């Protein structure tokens, strides 16, 4: 494969993934209680979970980049950037943000998910663009 092919594959994967994630966003935004009903019938779970699902659903679109970029780097044999992005998403962003927002209140903690995805996705996208520059694409 040529570098041009790789860039096209990444672009196509991002577009397809975003379309699928939009379906997830729609479900989390429009029918959170029904989704929660699969796991519980508790009113307390519904009241906490509906808020959580609607906020967490916001993370699905930026999650595309934070999930795709580590896979891209792994695919081209760059284990270090791939590992760093995965660690950034789960350890360096999500846990500290979750902890900080938990100090404010339960409903705020859910924002750790979209924030972590936005941060990691942005870093990953910059790293991807840097890789393209290294390849002179």
This prediction has a pTM of: 0.92
Could you read off the pLDDT of 99-136 as tens digits, one per residue? 999 999 999 999 999 999 999 999 999 999 999 999 98
CA distance 86 to 71: 9
| Total Cβ atoms within 10 A of residue 8 | 12
Cβ 120 vs Cβ 85: under 8 Å: yes
Structure tokens at 19: 């379309």
Could you read off the pLDDT of 44-53 as tens digits, one per residue? 999 999 999 9
pLDDT for 69: 98
């Amino acid at each position: 494969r040529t570098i041009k092919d790789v860039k096209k594959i990444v672009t196509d994967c991002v577009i397809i993934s975003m379309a699928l994630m939009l379906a997830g966003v729609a479900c989390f935004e429009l029918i959170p209680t029904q989704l929660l009903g699969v796991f519980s019938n508790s009113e307390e779970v519904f009241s906490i979970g509906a808020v959580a699902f609607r906020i967490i659903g916001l993370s699905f679109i930026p999650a595309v980049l934070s999930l795709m970029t580590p896979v891209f780097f792994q695919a081209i044999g760059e284990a270090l950037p791939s590992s760093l992005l995965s660690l950034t998403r789960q350890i360096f962003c999500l846990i500290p943000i979750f902890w900080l927002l938990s100090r404010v209140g339960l409903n705020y903690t859910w924002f750790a998910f979209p924030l972590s995805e936005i941060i990691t996705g942005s870093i990953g996208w910059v790293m991807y663009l840097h890789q393209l520059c290294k390849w002179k694409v």
